[in-house]
Amino acid sequence: MYRIYPVTQTELVCNDYKVKINGESAPLNSARVSAFPLNRRWPGHQRGIEQTELVNFLSFATDGPVTLEITPSDGFDSFTVHPLEAKVNSRREGDRIIVELSGAGYYTVEPYGRNRALHIFADPMPEYDVDKTSPDVIYFGEGEHDAGIIELKSNQTLFIDEGAVVYATLRACDAENIKILGRGILDNSKNREKILFEVNGDDNRVDVGNAERSHAVTIDYCKNIIIDGVTVRDSLAYNICPSGCEDIVIRNVKLIGNWRYNSDGFDMHNCKNVLIENCFLRTYDDCICAKGFCAIGNTEERMNHNGKVYDIFENLLVRNCVLWNDWGKCFEIGAECCAEEMRNIRFTDSAIIHVTGTPLDCMNIDYADVHGITYENISVEYDDVIPESKIQRRDSQTYSDFERDPDFAPYLICVMVGFHYEYSGGRTRRGRARDLKYKDIRLYGRQDIRIKIVGYDAEHMSEDILIENLTQNGNPVTELKPGNLVTNEFTRNIAIK
């Protein structure tokens, strides 16, 4: 059985593909994404449209095999289907691409390389037990809805049904038992930055602080949160940002259309008991981050709320996710780590299909004792030429102005205890990184594997780090080429085996 979701057409129109599912025509949604990794320290305005492109995405539900007949609008020489390890049965028949899916999952079909991809969101069949008429349910059906800011209270459910496009920014604070459900689209494109004062942003190295921005979904000091099924499109900043929260489940969520500065995926600050599973993220900045609070601003005020102290991050499990990163890191601890401890964090059974920065990163630039971290059973795919991230210094600069290394590759793994000239907020207290395990990491690509592990000083080290069963293109890696393992004197007990 399968079900094609209705599509509400918006001002975003991309006609790169036509698709049939089991012979039935399927309408496509569109999203604006980054075309290349050109970023800017915040100058008070957004990137130009010329740095973006429109793409199509297909959304449906299935509980069994389906066959997709995909017709690209332009000619193509070859194509790939990602994740590669999914080994999706596919073939070319004339000007069409035939893709046979065994069931639910998240894929991309790429006849033009990294650009102009077709994203396929094949959800499991929905099982929502929601009374749409209940006073505790905020319901949106098919069509466009300009909802503005939605404040969720305890025991409320926001239900965005199939075919719905809800232009909104979501907030919840000091609430419990809240749900965000449905197979529609939460569209954050009308959420715009507030410019506080004009400034010349040329050549700035830090955030110039002249704009206020809010996340698509902000959840502060809440308990028992379920976010299931929705697609979040075009977030102004982070897509989903829980802080000081407990007992969170994020499942079957798709993030697409992220092209604006710092549109991270799921960024959690000092939370406890978080499960993220079966999600797709294409972000313009980091994908999934376990963070402490930020050292800049009202750190103590945020850490002490209503008589309770929020200074621990613990118990995060991320599994069965597909990540595409257009700028930044993929699975990350930090960089913000204002917490006494960050512990029992596990990223597993996932695929990273495009990168620009470090896929597996632990960056402690504050004082947390980071320990009990596991990255396991993860595939990482490098493009044949990885687009090298560049910093735009003025509006007139374009991506083509920069020299780029065709053999560029980021660090596959990076562990750092250190100080950041901006994000550490000038604080002198440092932390640790210990008991990190990287097991069954599989890299696909021609570039050398590069790893960086550094500590801060003799009391703030990176230590007890195990890299086990690392492979590249199916071949075991037991040692790296000279110069490809970067360490300093403040590391201890690093093993690759």
Query: Could you read off the pLDDT of 357-378 as tens digits, one per residue?
Result: 999 999 999 999 999 999 999 9
Residues 284 and 196 in one domain: yes
Contact 321, 277 (CB under 8 A): yes
Residue where a domain stops, chosen among 123, 148, 169: 123
Collect all residues with Cβ–Cβ distance below 8 Å to 216 and sequence separation of at least 6. Answer: 169, 170, 186, 188, 191, 232, 235, 236, 237, 238, 239, 240
251, part of any domain = yes
Parallel, antiparallel or unpaired: strands 288-291 and 266-269: parallel
User: First vs last Cα of the chain: how many Å apart?
Assistant: 45
pLDDT at res. 405: 95
The proportion of the chain whose per-residue pLDDT surpasses 90, expressed as a percent, equals 91
Lowest mean pLDDT among 104-118, 251-265, 385-399: 385-399
Find the domain containing 398 and state its range: 137-496
* Paired strand residues for 391: 39
269, part of any domain = yes
Of 438, 425, 435, the closest CA to residue 336 belongs to 425
**293: how many CB neighbours lie within 10 A of its CB?**
24
Residues 258 and 396 in one domain: yes
pLDDT at res. 34: 98
**pLDDT reading at 44 higher than 80:** no
Residue where a domain stops, chosen among 80, 96, 123: 123
Collect all residues with Cβ–Cβ distance below 8 Å to 284 and sequence separation of at least 6. Answer: 33, 34, 258, 259, 260, 261, 262, 263, 326, 327, 328
What region does 365 belong to: left with phi over 0, alpha with psi -120 to 50, or beta? alpha
pLDDT at res. 358: 98
Mean pLDDT of the 67-94 span? 98
pLDDT at res. 204: 83
Of 197, 194, 232, 196, the closest CA to residue 213 belongs to 194
**pLDDT reading at 469 higher than 80:** yes
Collect all residues with Cβ–Cβ distance below 8 Å to 319 and sequence separation of at least 6. Answer: 276, 277, 278, 346, 347, 348, 349, 350
Residues 114 and 232 in one domain: no
Residues 223 and 75 in one domain: no
Contact 482, 452 (CB under 8 A): no
The C-alpha atoms of residue 168 and residue 162 are separated, in whole angstroms, by 16
pLDDT at res. 293: 96
Per-chain mean pLDDT for the chain: 96
Residues 144 and 267 in one domain: yes
The C-alpha atoms of residue 236 and residue 173 are separated, in whole angstroms, by 20
131, part of any domain = no
Phi/psi for 300 (5° steps) reads -65, -40
**pLDDT reading at 91 higher than 90:** yes
Residue where a domain stops, chosen among 97, 123, 149: 123
Residues 481 and 440 in one domain: yes
- The predicted-structure confidence for 384-434, as pLDDT tens digits, reads as follows 999 999 999 888 899 999 999 999 999 999 999 999 998 998 899 999 999
Number of domains present in the structure of the chain: 2
Measured between alpha carbons, how far is residue 299 from residues 209, 211, 237, 421 in Å?
17, 19, 19, 17
Query: Is the peptide bond prior to 43 cis by the omega test (within 30 degrees of 0)?
Result: no
The C-alpha atoms of residue 381 and residue 442 are separated, in whole angstroms, by 8
The proportion of the chain whose per-residue pLDDT surpasses 70, expressed as a percent, equals 100
**pLDDT reading at 208 higher than 90:** no
Parallel, antiparallel or unpaired: strands 288-291 and 331-335: parallel
Q: What's the token pair of residue 78?
A: 């070859």
pLDDT at res. 346: 98
Residues 272 and 335 in one domain: yes
Residues 409 and 377 in one domain: yes
Q: If pLDDT is split at 50, 70 and 90, which confidence band does 206 have?
A: confident
Single-letter code of the amino acid located at 469: N
**pLDDT reading at 299 higher than 90:** no
Residues 399 and 481 in one domain: yes
Residues 178 and 85 in one domain: no
Q: If pLDDT is split at 50, 70 and 90, which confidence band does 207 have?
A: confident
38, part of any domain = yes
**pLDDT reading at 201 higher than 90:** no
Token look-up 């929020």 returns: 310
**205: how many CB neighbours lie within 10 A of its CB?**
10
Q: If pLDDT is split at 50, 70 and 90, which confidence band does 209 have?
A: confident
Question: Which CATH number do you get for residue 472?
Answer: 2.160.20.10
**pLDDT reading at 152 higher than 80:** yes
130, part of any domain = no
Residues 78 and 221 in one domain: no
Collect all residues with Cβ–Cβ distance below 8 Å to 409 and sequence separation of at least 6. Answer: 382, 386, 445, 447, 448, 450
Question: Which CATH number do you get for residue 115?
Answer: 2.60.350.10
267, part of any domain = yes
Residues 114 and 141 in one domain: no
Mean pLDDT of the 115-134 span? 96
